Chain A
Amino acid sequence: MTSERGAAQLESANAIRAYQREWLEDTRQRVKQGEPFAICNGDEFEEVFNIMDIPVIVINYWNSIIATKRMTEYYGDVLINRGYPANYFAMGLASTIDNNPETAPWGGLPKPALIIGGTKSDTEMKVLEIWAREYGCPFFPLDFGLDAVPELPKYPPPPRWWEMMADHWDELIDPRRLDLRVEEEKALINFIEVTTGRKLSMAKLEQGLELLNEQEILWGKARDLIAETIPCPVSLRDQLAVYQAQWHRGTIRGRDFIKAYYEEVKERVEKGVAACPNEKLRLMWMAGTPPSWAKWAEEEYGAVCVASLFSSIPIDSYYRATINGDVMRALASRHMVLFLETPDWRLKDAEIHQCNGVVETANPSIPSFNKQLFEEAGMPLCQIPRDRDDEEVRAILSDFIETRLLS
């Protein structure tokens, strides 16, 4: 299984990749055949749609499909022609305004039953309202969506907050906000039932959320194996490809994908399979897509990116225990706070993955969120101006590796 260039792609990751394509096509067909479908912001409600078996297009996912089709520039112009800014979040809106089945991904989306989104940012609330109007469908706004600040009764967040997220999330989230959010989500479920004719029950919801938690726990176990095993058994590319299983959370399929992933990682560890047999140094890459210079760094220095911004999100953020039997509250809590972007959390990931250094892209004119804390903790951090495998980036990385990691 191991070649010169390291282990082959994970079968479990390939299965997820393949299913994602199948899912996209299946969803497209279902939607085409007139099944009600929803447009929803990522991480804000889609597990409920999954559990209700309603096809849902997650906005950030749809935007990434548009980006993959290299339509962002074109749609940016569509927005500008309408007097709007060429905003990435509004790419879906642009595809609807453009209304051109010839060029749009999937031949364009038909009319959704509803659009759901948060009021969490100046942009999101407006774009979704406009989008719904373009379609002539309802927009259901939810207050206190993901990442609204300040979320906590108290700032700054407690140290090692991620250790509280699973079982003590109630201490991290403002209970007053959560009360309202639960009410709004109940009202939304009623609204979805009325608009789509589909039903939700507590039994189904509970089952879905249990599957979701199982999925995240298995993911956490796989993360632990990756973090503690030298050389790293799974390439960052595969780790990140698996992430698409997150869109299927709350379903048996979603859980089984990650179960297979965990078992495959375990098997690799037992057999001593390395993603990069030449591994000499371990890096954490502060992004959510594999770095373009990964191959070069591996071949040149045996420097392997073993962790990313997504490494611990499943286990540190998605998993929620039900507290006092209140399932709706546990559900809404995830929609309100997924994680808190604090440098100590990222440092923890670099440390548990036994990294020698960390690489981030940074705008030199903005002070780094992470640099001081990382350096003080003895974790060298390298800033590159962009993620491109070019001479300048290679020179910065070479200098960093040679002077900070190898000397």
Chain B
Amino acid sequence: MRGGERLTSETAFEEIQRHYQQRDLAAREWRGNGGKVVGYFCDAVPEEMILAAGLFAIRLSGDPHGKTDVARQNVIPRFTNREDFVHSILNMLLTGEYDFLDYLVIPHTRDSIHRLYQLIAMMKDSDPSLNLPELFFLDSVHTTFFSGGLYNRDRMLELKESLEEWSGKEITSEALSRAINITNENKALLKRVASLRAAEPPCISGVEALQIISSSMFMLKEEHNKLLRGFLDGADKFPVRNGIRLFVSGSPLDSLQLFEIIESCGATIVADDNCWGNRYSNVPIDTSLDPFEAIADRYHNRSPCSRMYPMSRRLEHCLQNIMEAKAQGVVFNVFRHDAAEIWEIPDKTKALEEKRIPSVYFRNQPYLITEPEPLKTSIGELIETIQRSQ
């Protein structure tokens, strides 16, 4: 994108796609210009603080098509949760695909993620020649009580101190407020994307939305905001989509495969409750509070991730979003050994039955979908069920 050029909706989207596909593009460029890069996992790490420190924040993702051979030689037996994803990430870390990371923040979230801290720390210890980033473990509780909130807040203060050390400068309240404004704007723009996607009829597909939302986690936020504004400028001309309105719930999705398969059957994924999707932009930061406290508060009380207690909150969140998006059917997708997700599905299915919303459940799914046909057949059947009931 050349400077000064007015963005058309198409070029903005192409740029977004480019960053979705080449996830390291912006980070490498930043580093090439002498900046430092902080990687993180999950939507549990406050990007605002990283931004306020003048560092580049990038959420790490795996690659279902990528290799896993190097990781497999290093994984200790206790890794059984979502091992495909874990292997993929580790392989990328060990083979230099993430060699642009200066620091890596690992939050205490689902087992497959937080255990990476111990594993990577051990690897670093046993082989100092490995080019692995400096680690920070962002501890947090899995309950959402007041005392836990205080605990999390203290850990965020420690993260803030580390970021200050890494960047060599203090993170002021003003810098935090500025960063909050940028990320809040991002969330507000993404909410507009969410409403166009859930509009009747929708004019953004799930596949497009997932790229738009996820790319926010791979880019400089201001740049992403610019692209989003350019993209949304042409919203009145977006072609409308017909077809059945579906909602996708389940394991975190850092690739497009599942959405592509579902939408290739003629449906539109009007919303999701995924941390790579709508959940990322659901809850803005309260600008009426002290900026640091507001950040700590937001991350403690954000839309519930599947690793949080209580499950009832997850169920409510999922149902509310299904209803708001006027979804006609739901697809549950759970990766093999995703213990955080698997116990929730029966409750959700039951609640949907009571509301007469049909659903399909893809369980024990591989990280890389190699056999899309059975999934397509199920989606086809779901669509038919919905059509028959219309």
Surface stretch bound by A, among B21-29, B35-43, B232-240, B344-352: B344-352
A123 contacts B77, C-beta separation under 8 Å: no
Using an 8 Å CB-CB cutoff, how does the interface string of A144-177 with B read, 1 for contact, 0 for none? 1000011000011000000000000000001011
State which of B137, B147, B339, B349 has its C-beta within 8 Å of the C-beta of A184: B147
A121 contacts B339, C-beta separation under 8 Å: yes
When distances are taken between beta carbons in the complex, the residues of chain A under 8 Å from B347 are 130
Q: Tell me the count of chain B residues lying within 8 A, CB to CB, of chain A.
A: 38
Contact residues on A (Cβ < 8 Å of other chain), bracket: 20 to 34
A369 contacts B339, C-beta separation under 8 Å: no
A376 to chain B, nearest CB (A): 14
A126 contacts B311, C-beta separation under 8 Å: yes
State which of B77, B114, B115, B151 has its C-beta within 8 Å of the C-beta of A180: B151
Known contacts A85-B342, A121-B339: does B118 contact A143 (CB below 8 Å)? no
When distances are taken between beta carbons in the complex, the residues of chain A under 8 Å from B310 are 129
A127 contacts B343, C-beta separation under 8 Å: yes
Residue of B110, B115, B151, B338 with highest tally of chain A CB at under 10 A: B151
* Distance of A155 Cα from B123 Cα, bound (Å): 10
* Distance of A155 Cα from B346 Cα, bound (Å): 38
Q: In this assembly, does B141 line the interface, its C-beta being within 8 Å of a C-beta of chain A? A: yes
Q: In this assembly, does A82 line the interface, its C-beta being within 8 Å of a C-beta of chain B? A: yes
B110-162 contacts to A, CB under 8 A, are: 110-111, 114-115, 117-118, 121-122, 125, 137, 139, 141-143, 147-148, 151, 154-155
When distances are taken between beta carbons in the complex, the residues of chain A under 8 Å from B147 are 180, 183-184, 187
When distances are taken between beta carbons in the complex, the residues of chain B under 8 Å from A129 are 309-311
B154 contacts A176, C-beta separation under 8 Å: yes
Known contacts A122-B307, A125-B309: does B122 contact A130 (CB below 8 Å)? no
Q: In this assembly, does B1 line the interface, its C-beta being within 8 Å of a C-beta of chain A? A: no
Q: In this assembly, does A246 line the interface, its C-beta being within 8 Å of a C-beta of chain B? A: no
Q: In this assembly, does A244 line the interface, its C-beta being within 8 Å of a C-beta of chain B? A: no
When distances are taken between beta carbons in the complex, the residues of chain A under 8 Å from B262 are none
Q: In this assembly, does A366 line the interface, its C-beta being within 8 Å of a C-beta of chain B? A: yes
For A147, the closest partner residue in chain B by CB is B78
When distances are taken between beta carbons in the complex, the residues of chain B under 8 Å from A187 are 147
State which of B111, B151, B311 has its C-beta within 8 Å of the C-beta of A176: B151
A122 contacts B125, C-beta separation under 8 Å: no
* Distance of A183 Cα from B150 Cα, bound (Å): 12
B115 contacts A123, C-beta separation under 8 Å: no
Q: In this assembly, does A207 line the interface, its C-beta being within 8 Å of a C-beta of chain B? A: no
A152 to chain B, nearest CB (A): 9
When distances are taken between beta carbons in the complex, the residues of chain A under 8 Å from B339 are 121-123, 126
When distances are taken between beta carbons in the complex, the residues of chain B under 8 Å from A180 are 141, 147-148, 151
A367 contacts B137, C-beta separation under 8 Å: no
When distances are taken between beta carbons in the complex, the residues of chain B under 8 Å from A83 are 345-346, 349, 361
For B115, the closest partner residue in chain A by CB is A149
A141 contacts B309, C-beta separation under 8 Å: yes
A155 contacts B118, C-beta separation under 8 Å: yes
Q: How many A-B residue pairs have CB under 8 A?
A: 85
B85 to chain A, nearest CB (A): 13
When distances are taken between beta carbons in the complex, the residues of chain A under 8 Å from B114 are 149-150
* Distance of A119 Cα from B375 Cα, bound (Å): 33
B343 contacts A126, C-beta separation under 8 Å: yes
Q: In this assembly, does A84 line the interface, its C-beta being within 8 Å of a C-beta of chain B? A: yes
B74-117 contacts to A, CB under 8 A, are: 76-77, 81, 110-111, 114-115, 117
Using an 8 Å CB-CB cutoff, how does the interface string of B373-387 with A read, 1 for contact, 0 for none? 000000000000000
Q: In this assembly, does B203 line the interface, its C-beta being within 8 Å of a C-beta of chain A? A: no
B123 to chain A, nearest CB (A): 10
Known contacts A84-B343, A130-B311, A176-B154: does B77 contact A150 (CB below 8 Å)? no
* Distance of A366 Cα from B73 Cα, bound (Å): 9
B346 contacts A143, C-beta separation under 8 Å: no
Q: In this assembly, does B340 line the interface, its C-beta being within 8 Å of a C-beta of chain A? A: yes
A183 to chain B, nearest CB (A): 6
When distances are taken between beta carbons in the complex, the residues of chain A under 8 Å from B121 are 150, 155-156
When distances are taken between beta carbons in the complex, the residues of chain B under 8 Å from A84 are 342-343, 346
A125 contacts B142, C-beta separation under 8 Å: yes
Known contacts A83-B345, A129-B310: does B122 contact A156 (CB below 8 Å)? yes
Known contacts A119-B142, A183-B147: does B117 contact A150 (CB below 8 Å)? yes
State which of B73, B77, B81 has its C-beta within 8 Å of the C-beta of A369: B77
A104 to chain B, nearest CB (A): 21
A182-212 contacts to B, CB under 8 A, are: 183-184, 187
* Distance of A184 Cα from B146 Cα, bound (Å): 11
Using an 8 Å CB-CB cutoff, how does the interface string of A111-129 with B read, 1 for contact, 0 for none? 0000000010111011101
B143 contacts A143, C-beta separation under 8 Å: yes
Using an 8 Å CB-CB cutoff, how does the interface string of A78-121 with B read, 1 for contact, 0 for none? 00001111000000000000000000000000000000000101
A114 to chain B, nearest CB (A): 15
Known contacts A149-B118, A156-B122: does B340 contact A366 (CB below 8 Å)? no
* Distance of A155 Cα from B139 Cα, bound (Å): 15
B349 contacts A143, C-beta separation under 8 Å: no
Using an 8 Å CB-CB cutoff, how does the interface string of A356-372 with B read, 1 for contact, 0 for none? 00000001001101000
When distances are taken between beta carbons in the complex, the residues of chain A under 8 Å from B311 are 126, 129-130
* Distance of A403 Cα from B244 Cα, bound (Å): 68
* Distance of A123 Cα from B154 Cα, bound (Å): 27
A122 contacts B148, C-beta separation under 8 Å: no
A130 contacts B111, C-beta separation under 8 Å: no
B154 contacts A155, C-beta separation under 8 Å: no
B327-343 contacts to A, CB under 8 A, are: 338-340, 342-343
When distances are taken between beta carbons in the complex, the residues of chain A under 8 Å from B125 are 155-156
Residue of B139, B307, B343 with highest tally of chain A CB at under 10 A: B343
* Distance of A331 Cα from B327 Cα, bound (Å): 50
Using an 8 Å CB-CB cutoff, how does the interface string of A313-324 with B read, 1 for contact, 0 for none? 000000000000
For B151, the closest partner residue in chain A by CB is A180
A298 to chain B, nearest CB (A): 30
A24-49 contacts to B, CB under 8 A, are: none
B77 contacts A143, C-beta separation under 8 Å: no
A323 to chain B, nearest CB (A): 22
Known contacts A130-B311, A150-B121, A176-B154: does B343 contact A123 (CB below 8 Å)? yes
For B110, the closest partner residue in chain A by CB is A122
* Distance of A130 Cα from B342 Cα, bound (Å): 12
* Distance of A123 Cα from B141 Cα, bound (Å): 16
State which of B137, B345, B346 has its C-beta within 8 Å of the C-beta of A150: B137
User: Please, could you name 19 A-B residue pairs with CB atoms under 8 Å apart, sorted by A?
Assistant: A83-B346, A84-B343, A84-B346, A121-B339, A122-B307, A122-B338, A125-B309, A126-B339, A127-B343, A141-B309, A143-B142, A150-B114, A150-B118, A150-B121, A155-B117, A155-B122, A155-B125, A177-B139, A183-B147
Task: Taking A122-B307, A129-B309, A143-B151 as given, write out 20 further A-B residue pairs in contact, using a Cβ cutoff of 8 Å, ordered by the A residue number.
Answer: A83-B349, A85-B342, A85-B343, A122-B338, A123-B339, A126-B344, A130-B343, A141-B142, A143-B141, A143-B143, A150-B118, A150-B121, A155-B118, A156-B122, A176-B139, A176-B155, A180-B141, A180-B151, A363-B77, A369-B77
Chain A to chain B: the 5 pairs with minimum beta-carbon distance, closest first: A83-B346, A126-B343, A122-B339, A119-B142, A122-B340
